[in-house]
Amino acid sequence: MNGLIISWLLLPFLLAFSSALWPKLGWWMALLCCGATLAVGLALSFDPQPILIQLVGPTGVTLLLDGWIAPFLLLNALVCAAVLLEWGHSHDDPSFCLLVMVLLGSINSALVCHDLISLYVALEVVSLCAFLLIADRHKFRSLWIALRYLLVGSTALLFFLIGCAQVQASHGSFAFEGVSGATTGAQALLLIGLLTKSGLFVSGLWLPRTHAEAPAEVSALLSGVVITAGAAPLVRIGQATPALGSVLLWLGLASAGFAVVFALLETDVKRLLAWSTVSQIGLVVISPVTAGLFALGHGLAKACLFLLTRRCPSRRLESWSEMPLPRSVALPMRLASLSIAGCPLLVGYLAKEQLQQQLAPLPVLLVTLFSVGTAAVYTRLWASPIERLGDQGSAADAGSPAGTPFQWGVALLMVALVLGNGLPLVGNDSTLWLISFKGSSLLKSLGVLLAGWALHSLIQPWRPRIKLPDLEGFDDLIGGMGIMGTALVVILSW
């Protein structure tokens, strides 16, 4: 069994090397890696017995596979496969498939690592792959955004590495369990690194501008799976350290409320989706029980929405009411939006219902308020009329890439959003699933959606007049990490 797991972890890296020698097979090799990850995720879903692997001695590399990481692995496999299907096997750039394979393998490694130094190495590889995917040598601004992402990520991981050293000095190993006995400074440094990689609160201010410049496929990867490489270990460490778990609860709520305000006032569709990611990932980390299910629902829907943006007639939302979208774009966009907003029958609804079952009354009230804001945000994506049958030559179709008459990647994500309710994932209680479709839960969900529509209608006339501060400069990103670090030291010292 241990040999099979190690082979699975090494497979994407070995096939990535092979694809450099045989680039025409790179697309098929990448899909094979996605299939292997999907198989492991499904196996852990149906048989969640933990598997602990100790390599290089008792203080060396530790791997832990259990049912808790199953939804994260499924998300990684499905989003990467959808991006590859949208990209197409006949594309001229073979390096994309190579980078997707290395990214897939490094995120898988980050999810199964159970020691801090191995996690650090995996996150560094994730950062490097994301940098190379974002960068476009033909666009100076794209190069700067990619370099900015790499500099911010490397700075955050430097803080994380210093925290690792302090944990090792006090505990004698890099095990996650040693974090609970580490100093306040070490815990703060570890949190800063993972908060930045997760895109949370002020540490996640790199997301909107990065998404605005990155290609749609790369934005889908960033919002769908890259941020989970930091979020999943963050929740895992918080689960093992109760003091950090309570801090994560309030940091997650702060991130959800802070970002939804910016998303409500944003006029660029990709930046709106990026702000929504900062908000939704805040809800992922506030409960270890539902983290995987919530991340799965959000990642599938958000990756779908980013893939659809390249087929939209314009990124400026104020012009959408005059530009009809083809059904192949409008219908998946509405379905994915409804899932994130919490519409019944979709994974997003079940995740929110089960999240509120795990929280105290005050957090439940805040989550409900933020859900109203989220519904208002996604109401704006429904402003464009749907193209009537028989209409030809729409702006969206004119902008669609050649050779992709059917959106196989989007279709895969749509099926997963519906069928994900039936998987025996951690936090996905079938009994609660049945109860949640009765009476009060359905009325509450409908009330949240109607309140979101009312909030959107209320602020629509005022939106052009409200200007929020620009917090996305490079100095703001580095300064934000410093402020968060200081605040965490103070909070954890209480």
pLDDT score at 263:
94
Q: Could you tell me whether strands 61-65 and 51-55 are parallel, antiparallel, or unpaired per DSSP bridges?
A: antiparallel
Helix, coil or strand: residue 409: helix
Dump pLDDT digits (tens) for 393-410.
444 444 444 333 568 899
pLDDT score at 434:
52
Report whether 159 contacts 230 (CB < 8 A): no
**Close Cβ partners of 10 (under 8 Å, ≥ 6 residues apart):** 105
Helix 206-213 and helix 140-171, axial crossing angle in degrees, nearest 10: 140
Structure tokens at 404: 């992709």
Specify the DSSP class assigned to residue 469: -
Domain positions in the chain: 2-387+406-493
DSSP secondary structure string for all residues of 202-245: GGGTHHHHHHHHS-HHHHHHIIIIITHHHHHHHHHHHHH-HHHH
Helix, coil or strand: residue 360: coil
pLDDT score at 397:
44
Report whether 231 contacts 291 (CB < 8 A): yes
Residue 65: phi, psi to the nearest 5?
-115, 125
Above 50 in pLDDT, residue 304?
yes
Helix 291-309 and helix 269-284, axial crossing angle in degrees, nearest 10: 170
Q: pLDDT higher for 57 or 129?
A: 129
Give the mean pLDDT of 230-245.
90
Structure tokens at 79: 């989003």
Structure tokens at 471: 């917090």
Dump pLDDT digits (tens) for 313-340.
888 888 887 778 888 888 899 999 999 9
Structure tokens at 457: 């209608």
Highest mean pLDDT among 67-71, 138-142, 236-240, 323-327: 67-71
- Lookup result for tokens 């939302």: 317
Structure tokens at 428: 């996905």
Above 90 in pLDDT, residue 386?
no
Name the least confident of 1-5, 355-359, 436-440, 467-471: 436-440
Q: How many residues does the chain have?
A: 494
Give the mean pLDDT of 56-61.
74
Give the mean pLDDT of 377-397.
68
pLDDT score at 141:
85
Rounded to 5°, the CA angle 410-453-468 comes to 90
Rounded to 5°, the CA angle 242-244-247 comes to 115
Alpha-carbon gap, residue 334 to 219, rounded angstroms: 19
Half-sphere exposure of 73 (CA within 13 A, CB side): 30
Helix (H) or strand (E) holding 53: strand 51-55
Alpha-carbon gap, residue 68 to 43, rounded angstroms: 12
pLDDT score at 439:
60
C-beta atoms surrounding 447 within 10 Å = 13
Alpha-carbon gap, residue 473 to 197, rounded angstroms: 17
- Lookup result for tokens 């690592």: 113
Q: pLDDT higher for 80 or 465?
A: 80
Above 70 in pLDDT, residue 437?
no
Give the mean pLDDT of 428-442.
58
CA dihedral 259, 262, 265, 271 (to 10 degrees): -90
Buried b (16+ CB within 10 A) or exposed e, 176-195: bebbeebeebbbbbbbbbbb
Structure tokens at 88: 């197409």
Using only C-alpha atoms, what is the Rg of the chain?
21
Give the mean pLDDT of 102-112.
96
- Lookup result for tokens 């394979």: 101
pLDDT score at 399:
42
Distances (CA, A) of 461 to 264, 279, 318, 324: 12, 24, 11, 22
Distances (CA, A) of 109 to 39, 123, 205, 232, 233: 16, 9, 25, 12, 11
Specify the DSSP class assigned to residue 65: E
Helix, coil or strand: residue 405: coil
